[in-house]
Every structure is written in structure tokens, then in C-alpha cells.
Amino acid sequence: MNKTWFAIYVKSRSEKKVALALEDHGIAFYLPLIRVLKQWSDRKKWVEEPLFKSYIFVEIEEIQYYEVLQVPGVVRYITFEKKAVPIRTAQIEAIKYFLDEKTPEFDAEQKWEKGHQVEVISGSMTGLIGQLVDVKGKHKVSITIDAINRSILIQIPKTKLRII
């Protein structure tokens, strides 16, 4: 019984439905989810969203390859040169470790601006305070931390920070 991890591409916004269908077919899968604060016109609510939009990881044997493609909502495997790309178990474990370290909560409405004071709230640097230097896309920022009378510049996910 030699199982391998693969990433599959699924229809937009159907990750949870496809995950339930995979479960019904007895196919091992991993759908990493994060908590995100969403705002509607009348309320705010924490919801779970996929960490990787439109992707699910499946752990299958070779004979299950085509069975996965028959699951409603599955579009295709992620391929390179027309061959499904296997994913190392260590990479899946790293994602699980990151998400289990502390349940990330991401406030999509929070304004991340240069100069804000921030505190690291999870990971090995918990408790350190720094200054926001740069915003690197949707999920990462660069901060400077004064340690031992020297400034160090690090990139860190927003989910591991809070604005003071």
C-alpha cells in the first residue's frame, strides 16, 4: 500500500463540498483552513476559508488516480509536463504544523500601514515588538525588531502579528 500526496484543482468556492465528496468516496484528503474575519453590510463574522483557494491535497494509491477525477467538483491534478506532481509528506506536515501552531485569525479589515507598532503573537518570537516597515502583498509584512541594540528585518505572516 504505497500512498502519495497530490494537489488537485477544484471548482472555485467548492473546496468544502469537494472535500465532503472525497470523504464519501473514502479518499484521504487534506484541506487546510484558516479563520478570516469577513464583513457584510450588517455584520462581521469569523469564517473558515481554504488556505489555498481552489486546491485540495489528496493522498492516494495509484489505482485511485482516476477515481479522484470522477468526484464532482474536481477539475484536474496539478501537473508538470502533463504528469501529476507528487508532493512530499514533509511539505504537507509543514502546512499542518504551521496551522496547528496557533489557529491563525486574520482580520481582513485591519489596516496594515508603515510605522505601526506590532507584536508577534505566535511562533518562536512570541512577545517581540517591532515596527511595520513594508507590506508584502495580502498575507505578509516586513517588520524591524530591535534586539541587542541592533535592528533586524524579518518577513512574517500577518496571522502571527497584531497591531498594538
What digits encode the pLDDT tens for the residues 104-132?
Answer: 455 556 677 888 888 888 776 777 788 88
Examine the pLDDT at 160 and tell me if it is beyond 70: yes
Rounded Cα distance, 74 and 72, in Å: 6
Which residue's entry shows cell 484521504? 28
For 47, residues 6+ apart whose C-beta sits below 8 A from its C-beta are: 35, 36, 38
Q: How much is the pTM? A: 0.64
**Which domains are present in the chain?**
4-106 (3.30.70.940), 110-163 (2.30.30.30)
Residue 103: pLDDT band with limits 50, 70, 90? very low
Please, which pLDDT band fits residue 150 given cuts at 50, 70 and 90?
A: low
Among the ranges given (46-50, 53-57, 145-149, 156-160), the one the predictor scored with the smallest mean pLDDT:
145-149
Band of the pLDDT at 61, cuts 50, 70, 90? very high
Is pLDDT of 135 > 50? yes
Q: What is the mean pLDDT of the segment spanning 35-59?
A: 89
> Is residue 86 exposed (0-12), middle (13-18) or buried (19+ Cβ within 10 Å)?
exposed
For residues 120 and 102, give the distance between their C-alpha atoms in angstroms, rounded to a whole number.
12
Cα angle 48, 28, 59 (rounded to 5 degrees) comes to 105
Residue pair 78/85 in contact (Cβ under 8 Å)? The answer is yes
